[in-house]
Amino acid sequence: MLVTLLKMAWRNLFRRRLRTVLTLAGVSVAVAALCSLLSFQQGYQNGMKGELERLGAHVLVVPKGCPYDAASIALHGASWPCYLKEAYLTQVKRTEGVQTAAPVLMNANYTESGEAIVTLGVTPEILAVKKNWLIAGAFPTSNGEVLVGSAFAKKHNLVIGQTFDLPGSAGISLKVCGTLAPTQGADDTYLHLTLADAQRLMKRPGELTHILVRLSDPNEMEGVVGALRACEAGMEMNIVPLSHLFNTIQELVNSMRLLLGSVALIALFVAGAAVSNTVMMAVSERVREIGVLRAVGASKGDVFALILLETLMLCLIAGVIGCLASAVFAPFIEFWLRNRLPFSPTDTLVKPSLTLSLFCLLLTGIFGAIAGMLPSWRAAKLVPALSMK
Amino acid sequence: MKSVDNVVLRAESLTKIYRRGVEEVRALDGVTFSIEEGEFVSIVGQSGSGKTTLLNLIGCMDTPTSGTIEIDGHETSRLSDRQSTRLRSEKIGFVFQHFGLIPTLSVEENIMLPTLFARRAAKGKASELLEQVGLSHRHKHRPHELSGGEMQRVAIARALINSPALLLADEPTGNLDSTNGEAILRLFTDLNRAGLTIIVVTHNPALADAAHRQLNLQDGHLLLESQL
Ligand SMILES: Nc1ncnc2c1ncn2[C@@H]1O[C@H](COP(=O)(O)OP(=O)(O)OP(=O)(O)O)[C@@H](O)[C@H]1O
Ligand SMILES: [Mg+2]
């Protein structure tokens, strides 16, 4: 029974090829938009989470200024417009609830080819923050020694023990004392020096760009942040709780998400209307044929099922095409989004996934079923006497 | 109303009024007749006299404005859609002037279609019927690959698959040339000889004469033998 109905519904789709193809195209585009949006949604959230985990800190202490900007610089590596006094570090460390406070002096130089060379002055305290780090060789302990991120080492063909000239800054020669296993984050492109060495090379003695703070208990966030703000140097520092920052950035991205979401939703509604219309036309072309089906024993339910099946098939084919298209175009959408987002994590933003595709297919099926109701009901109402016309 | 054993169809004062806005069309007006099992009856009359309307009522495709119909002893003029669908499926086979084959299905699938809706299996019956109408070699073909005569034979096979009590045909030779029309006529005669009750609406004199009896319609009225 079902097999023949399926066969009929399937073949009916090919009776008006051009019309079917046009409707398929419309629905596919809508599904692709929806699927891309959802995978972006998921990718962005996961990317932000991963970014924060890799940063290892619960709280970021940055110089007064725009906290989002400073946090973004800390996450992605660039030169800083303002600095913190190293002396504040003691106060941060003394604050109750602070487990580790790792001082960082960050700087970026650009080579002639436009590559950003990001150097960070750090102390061994950073190791208590970056729990995911795997170091081959040694952590830098004296001037001229550098711990190289995996991507940088690969790009410049560096091995442990090798000496190289720092690209983008004349006359600085560094010796690779260790390399960092890939972290999938921005650390992979960084060069880590000792804090003292970095301060000397950048001519910023006694200064920091930021402090990475890990709490004894991340649930005590509010209290510790309050205490940090209240300390003597509190006026000179911006205390950025990263989980809040995470939410704030999400909110910044929400407007973009809302826009894209509305577009996808409108597209889906338009596609639904197009499907309804297509199937309605198919029904009105086949009035006599449907009458014949009724004459030879098809019930209203059989006719309803047949037309609904046809609609569902149309939508599901379009759904599959849409999901595939969204997977194929993911890199382009990724590129487009990256250029427009105020902040984007290093992880892939638009990552096609099977679960998400299946979810989109389910949604397409539900939309298809709704779009198919009206034409199916119209068809079921056709009287058998129409077969005689 | 008493029902005699061998009466398959009894129509009593059948009236059908179509309403188009304020205008009323009396397509049938007080038609009474009965048909016995194994009869071959033709319905003739001018265009617009109500032949198709009558066939629709007999075939449970429409309900009369007033009057009653009995098929196999069951009153059928006031059935619900579900009940009349079931009755069509079990008791009635239809043959149309336009053949009414489903273009997306093969000859064999078309013939099997009524069994599908009746939720029965009848694979063997289909090939048997195909052989009977002389189209075994065409079972995989699509309708558009067949001639008109072949299509009508397929349609007849489809009408017979659920072993109906009544075969109803509206102008079955209307779209065929005389040779193919004769083939259909012969098929009907053979089927009737084998015991099938057939009611056929036709303008084809040969087909009308082949029937045992003619019902003559004029403006919705059944003419008596004496009026012919
Ligand atoms: N659905 C309908 N609505 C309104 N009037 C109808 C309808 N069907 C038939 N009629 C009218 O009823 C009358 C009888 O029509 P019917 O189709 O039964 O004639 P017929 O004898 O089959 O004619 P033909 O030989 O041309 O097929 C005609 O006047 C027709 O216009
Ligand atoms: Mg007619």
Q: Which amino acid is at A169?
A: S
Q: Which residues from B are below 8 Å from A8, CB to CB?
A: 102, 104-105
Predicted pLDDT at B23: 92
Give the SS3 label for residue A383: coil
Interface contact A8-B117, CB threshold 8 A: no
pTM of the predicted protein model: 0.79
Strands, E assignment, B83-174: 92-95, 166-170
Residue B36 bridge partners (DSSP)? B7
Tens-place pLDDT, residues A143-182: 999 999 999 999 999 999 999 998 877 788 999 999 999 9
CA–CA dist B95, A78 (Å, integer): 83
Question: What does the angle CA B43 – CA B41 – CA A291 come to, to the nearest 5 degrees?
Answer: 60
Mutation pick for ligand 1 pocket among B22, B25, B202 (CB with most ligand atoms within 8 Å): B25
Size of interface A-B (CB pairs under 8 A): 84
Residue nearest to atom 17 of ligand 1 (CA): B52
**Each residue of A248-283: b (16+ CB within 10 Å) or e?**
bbeeebeeeeeebbeebeebbeebbebbbebbbebb
Both structure tokens of B30: 């007080």
**Residue B2 has what pLDDT?**
46
- The order of strands in the sheet holding B74-75 is B23-36, B7-20, B66-71, B74-75
A295–B contact, CB cutoff 8 A: yes
At A209, list the tokens.
């760009």
Interchain proximity B94–A288, CB inside 8 Å: no
Q: Interface pTM (ipTM) of the complex?
A: 0.94
| pLDDT of the residue at B3 | 47
Q: Which two tokens stand for residue A86?
A: 């190293």
pLDDT for A70 equals 73
User: Does B170 contact chain A (CB < 8 Å)?
Assistant: yes
- pLDDT, position B86: 94
Instruction: Determine contact, residues B222/B33, Cβ cutoff 8 Å.
Output: yes
Partner A contacted by B140 (CB < 8 A) = no
Please, which residues have CB within 8 angstroms of residue B142's CB and are 6 or more apart in sequence? B103, B104, B105, B106, B107
Residues with pLDDT less than 50, chain A: none
- In chain B, which residue's Cα lies nearest the Cα of A296? B114
Residue of minimum CA distance from atom 1 in ligand 1:
B18
CA-wise closest residue to B156 among B117, B130, B182, B194 = B130
Among residues B193, B196, B188, B194, the alpha carbon closest in space to that of B165 is found at B196
Return the DSSP state at B145: G
CB A357 within 8 A of CB A35: yes
Residue A355 token pair: 């679960």
Give the residue carrying structure tokens 């109803």.
Answer: B168
In this complex, which of B85, B109, B114 lies closest to A299 when CB atoms are compared? B85
Q: Closest to A297 (Cβ–Cβ): which among B88, B98, B170? A: B88
Find where tokens 């390399």 sit: A179
**Cβ-proximal residues to A380 (8 Å cutoff; 6+ apart), any chain:** A300, A301, A303, A304, A307
Q: Is B112 on the interface with A (CB under 8 A)?
A: yes
- Nearest protein Cα to ligand 1, atom 12: B27
B163: tokens are 């072993």
Please give the radius of gyration of chain A, using alpha carbons only, rounded to the nearest integer: 30
Q: Is A289 helix (H, G, I), strand (E, B) or coil?
A: helix
Note the pLDDT of residue A67: 58
3-state secondary structure of A98: strand
- What residues of chain A lie within 8 A of the CB of B118, using their CB? 297
pLDDT confidence of residue A68: 59
Helix (H, G, I), strand (E, B) or coil at A275: helix
What residue ranges of chain B have pLDDT lower than 70? Answer: 1-5, 225-228
For residue A285, what are the contacts with CB-CB under 8 A and spacing of at least 6? none
